[in-house]
Amino acid sequence: MAKPRILVVGSANVDFIMRAERVPSAGETLTSNGSYGFMPGGKGMNTALAASRMGGDTLMCARVGADSFGNRLIGFAKENGIDTRLMTIDKKRPTGLAAITVEADGTNRITVYKGANEALGDDDLEEAFMCYPDAVMLQFETNDYIVKKTIEIANEKGIPVIVDAGPARADYPLFDLGRLKVFSPNENETFTYTGIRPDSHNEYVHAVMKLAETVESDYYVLKLGGRGCYISDGKFSEILPAYNVEVVDTTAAGDAFTAAMTVEYIRTGDIIKACRYANAVGALTVSKRGSSASIPSDAEARRFMETHKIIF
Ligand code: ATP
Ligand code: RIB
Taking only the tens place, the pLDDT of each residue in 108-162 is: 899 999 999 999 999 889 889 988 999 999 999 999 999 999 999 999 999 999 9
Q: Which ligand is nearest to the CA of 41?
A: 2
Cα of 253 vs centre of ligand 1, distance in Å, is 5
CB distance 141 to ligand 2 below 6 Å: yes
Residue type, 194: T
Contact 63, 119 (CB under 8 A): yes
> Under a CB-based contact definition with an 8 Å cutoff, are residues 18 and 36 in contact?
yes
Q: What is the pLDDT of residue 177?
A: 97
**Cα 102 to ligand 1 centre (Å):** 14
| Nearest one of 172, 236, 178 to 204, comparing CA atoms | 236
Other CB atoms within 10 A of residue 233 CB: 15
What would the pLDDT profile of 41-93 be if each residue is shown by its tens digit?
999 999 999 999 999 999 999 999 999 999 999 999 999 999 999 999 999 99
What integer pLDDT is reported at residue 33 of this predicted model? 83
What's the confidence (pLDDT) of residue 126?
83
State whether the beta carbon of 119 lies less than 6 angstroms from ligand 1. Answer: no
d(CA 127, CA 219): 28
**Ligand 2 in reach of 189 Cβ (< 6 A):** no
With cut-offs at 50, 70 and 90, classify the pLDDT of residue 32.
confident
pLDDT bin (cut points 50, 70, 90) of residue 35 is confident
Question: With a 6 A CB cut-off, is 278 part of the ligand 2 pocket?
Answer: no
CB 296 less than 6 A from any atom of ligand 1: no
The ligand that comes nearest to the alpha carbon of residue 230 is 1
Closest C-alpha to 45, from 160, 109, 144, 141:
141
In this prediction, residue 263 carries a pLDDT of 98
17 Cβ closer than 6 Å to some ligand 1 atom: no
Nearest CA to ligand 2 atom 2: 252
Give the chain's mean pLDDT.
95
Q: Measured from the CB, is residue 240 less than 6 Å from ligand 1?
A: no
Q: Tell me if 230 CB under 6 Å of ligand 1.
A: no
Average pLDDT of the segment spanning 279-303: 94
CA–CA gap between residue 278 and residue 259 (Å, rounded) = 8
For residue 15 and ligand 2, the question of a CB distance below 6 A is answered with yes
* Nearest residue to 256 via CA among 19, 53, 64, 6: 53
Q: Quote the pLDDT of residue 309.
A: 63
- CB-count exposure of residue 260 (10 Å: 0-12, 13-18, 19+): buried
Cα of 1 from ligand 2 centre, angstroms:
32
SS3 181: strand
134 in Cβ contact with 106 (< 8 Å)? no
Ligand 1 within 6 A of CB of 61? no
> Measuring CA to CA, how many Å separate 193 from each of 4, 80, 149, 184, 210?
31, 34, 21, 12, 9
Proportion of the chain above pLDDT 70, given as a percent: 99
Q: Is the pLDDT of residue 311 over 50?
A: no
252 alpha carbon – ligand 2 mean position (Å): 6
- Which residue's CA lies nearest to atom 8 of ligand 2? 42
- d(CA 83, CA 266) in angstroms, rounded, equals 19
Distance 115 CA to ligand 2 centre (A): 14
Question: 214: CA distance to ligand 1 center in Å?
Answer: 25
292 lines ligand 1 (CB under 6 A): no
Q: Are 7 and 135 in contact (CB under 8 A)?
A: yes
Give the H or E element holding residue 300. helix 298-307
Separation between Cα atoms, residue 286 and residue 295, nearest integer Å: 9
pLDDT (tens digit per residue) in 171-190: 999 999 999 999 999 999 99
Residue 35: CB atoms within 10 Å: 11
Is 13:42 a contact under the CB 8 Å cutoff? yes
pLDDT at 310 exceeding the cut of 60: no
- The pLDDT value recorded for residue 196 is 98
Of the listed ligands, the closest to the CA of 188 is 1
Reported as a pLDDT band with limits 50, 70 and 90, residue 104 is confident
192 pLDDT higher than 90:
yes
Whether residue 177 contacts residue 148, with contact meaning beta carbons closer than 8 Å, is answered with yes
